[in-house]
Amino acid sequence: MCQLLGMNSLKPARLSFSLEGFLRRGGETDEHADGWGIALYEDRRCQLLIDELPSARSPLAEWIQLYSGRSRNVIAHIRKATQGSISATNCHPFLRHLWGQEWSFAHNGNLDVSKLPAPVCFTPCGQTDSEHAFCLLLDGLFSRFGRQAPGLAQLSQTLAELARLIAAAGSFNFVLSNGEWLFTHRSTELHYLQRAYPFGRAHLLDCPLGIDFSRHNEQDDRMIIVATRPLTDEHWQPLPVGELAVFAEGRRVAC
């Protein structure tokens, strides 16, 4: 199986601390060593970076930690291959364009694609069940809304319906973003955390590294972190099973 990470922040922010712990699970503190990827939204543009190397030993990961800019939304994924060969084509996140927006998606779980329809407008480049499901989500949005992007409420409702249909074919934990909003769905395992004022201290669970967020944040900073398994000793909450969750401007919103 794989692990997921997502961020949605009110203001552009760097994910360095949580990312540090997450990337170590790619071949160092855990077994997810079949490649990794990250989608960093600088403004609404998605910088998608993929590496077949284990994230714990990836020069690209080092480069991101040193040089990447601040983002309002981030999606990252470390892979333990179950369907599809070990290649960059099969690494998450996947990217597609819809309504002049760049959509990125990463999945954890296994889907029986023989139980799913074939995507029509959005077609996969690789062999994974995950990219297949992503294409089905976008197909469903395009078929429902055509060329006009809907508002958040309509979008969330349709995504929830589509996610339910796809989740019937197996296990469907995902993180999805268009650079403005972060959507998640939990079948088996997915947690989230809000960091907001008053900021406190935190320690990574994967390595002896701590941080005092009150020294790095202002009073009006606010962000959500989503991860398959908690990354720190903060107050992580499990997301409800079988539901879509929606995050905007650094908080969870009703959908």
Residue 247 beta carbon to its own copies: minimum distance, rounded to whole angstroms: 22
Nearer to its own copies, 16 or 123 (CB): 123
Nearer to its own copies, 57 or 229 (CB): 57
Q: For residues 153 and 255, is the Cβ–Cβ distance under 8 A?
A: yes
Residue 2 known to be catalytic:
yes
Residues that bind its own copies (CB under 8 A): 42-45, 47-50, 59-60, 63, 66-67, 87-89, 95-97, 99-102, 120, 122-126, 147
Nearer to its own copies, 99 or 145 (CB): 99
Nearer to its own copies, 142 or 236 (CB): 142
Cα 214 to the center of its chain, rounded Å: 25
Residue 59 beta carbon to its own copies: minimum distance, rounded to whole angstroms: 5
Residue 97 beta carbon to its own copies: minimum distance, rounded to whole angstroms: 6
SS (H, E, C) 115-140: HCCCCCCCCCCCCCHHHHHHHHHHHH
**Strand spans (E) along the chain:** 3-13, 36-42, 45-51, 71-78, 94-98, 101-108, 173-177, 181-185, 191-196, 201-203, 210-212, 222-227, 237-238, 244-248, 251-253
Of residues 2, 91, 135, 255, which has the active-site annotation?
2
Assigned token pair, 197: 């004022």
Residue 183 beta carbon to its own copies: minimum distance, rounded to whole angstroms: 19
Residues known to be catalytic: 2
